[in-house]
Amino acid sequence: MFTGIVTDMGEVIALHPKGDLRARIGTAYDVASIDIGASIACEGVCLTVVATGSTPRTWFDVDISAETVRKTNIGGDNGWAVGQRINLERALRVGDELGGHIVSGHIDGVAEVVGLASEGDSLRVTFRAPDTLARFIAPKGSVALSGTSLTVNDVRGADFDINFIPHTQAVTTWGGVKVGDLVNLEVDTMARYVARLREYD
C-alpha cells in the first residue's frame, strides 16, 4: 500500500525487453535499504524490485508485465523513455504518516491532460478520464494520478480539474506537465466500493 505522497523523482536510465520489460530506475533512495522483492510505486504503478546497484549511480530494476505495459502509460508511442523523470514512492510501513490517501498502485486506466491554466501561483490542470471511470470521480474526492494523491476540484462529465500548488510542481513531475500527456489514474478505493454497493440498492 502507498499514500500517494511522492518521495523521489527517479529517472528511467534503461529499458530492456526481457520476457516482458525490465526498467532500470535511477533514484536518490538508499538502495542498501531496499530489499529484493520490495514494492515501489513508479508513476503510481506498484512494481517489484528485482535488482539494485550503485554504479555509476544508485538504481533499482523492476520487471513490468506485458499486461501492465498495455494498461498504463508505460507503453505506447508516448510511453516511458530513457531519460524520463518519474514519481517514486516506497511502500507504506506500519507507523508511517498517512499524508495522502490509501493507494494500491493498481492502475484503473489512463487519463489525458486536456487543459492548463494558471491560477495565482498554482496551476489548474484539466484531465479527461475514460468514460468507464468517470463515475468514480467526485468534487472534493481523492484520486491518484501518476502516483500523486490529489484532491479533485470540479467535475464535468469525464473531465475533472485539479490545482497543483508550487510545492507539488517542484517535488514531482507535475512541474513539466503538458497538454496531451497521458497519466496513470487510480480512483479512490472508497468510491469504487460505494459505487458497487449502490448496484444492490
Q: pLDDT tens digits for 60-96? A: 999 999 999 999 999 988 899 999 999 999 998 766 6
Residue 97 lies in a domain: no
How many Cβ atoms are within 10 Å of 121's Cβ, its own excluded?
9
Is the same domain home to 86 and 117? Answer: no
Share of the chain above pLDDT 70, in %: 92
Is the same domain home to 69 and 129? Answer: no
Long-range contacts of 29-38 (CB under 8 A, 24+ apart): 29/58, 29/60, 29/88, 29/90, 30/58, 31/58, 31/59, 31/60, 34/60, 34/90, 38/90, 38/91
Is the same domain home to 24 and 75? Answer: yes
pTM of the predicted model, to two decimals? 0.91
Q: What pLDDT shows up at residue 188?
A: 85
Residue 99 lies in a domain: no
Q: What CATH number is attached to the domain comprising 18?
A: 2.40.30.20
Domain carrying residue 52 = 8-90
Assess whether pLDDT exceeds 90 at residue 163.
Answer: yes
Assess whether pLDDT exceeds 90 at residue 175.
Answer: yes
Where does residue 70 rank: exposed (0-12), middle (13-18), buried (19+ CB within 10 A)?
exposed
Do 4 and 15 form a contact (C-beta atoms < 8 A)? no
Return phi, psi of residue 177, to 5°.
Answer: -65, 145
**Based on the structure, what is the number of domains in the chain?**
2
Do 10 and 40 form a contact (C-beta atoms < 8 A)? no
Residue 2 lies in a domain: no
Residue 3 lies in a domain: no
Is the same domain home to 63 and 121? Answer: no
Is the same domain home to 50 and 16? Answer: yes
Is the same domain home to 85 and 124? Answer: no
DSSP string over 4-72: S---EEEEEEEEE-SSSEEEEEE-SS-GGGPPTT-EEEETTEEEEEEEEE-SSS-EEEEEE-HHHHHHS
C-alpha cell at 13: 536510465
What digits encode the pLDDT tens for the residues 96-134? 666 678 899 999 999 999 999 999 999 999 999 999 999
Residue 121 lies in a domain: yes
Residue 1 lies in a domain: no
Structural domain ending residue among the three candidates 90, 122, 137:
90
Is the same domain home to 84 and 116? Answer: no
Share of the chain above pLDDT 90, in %: 80
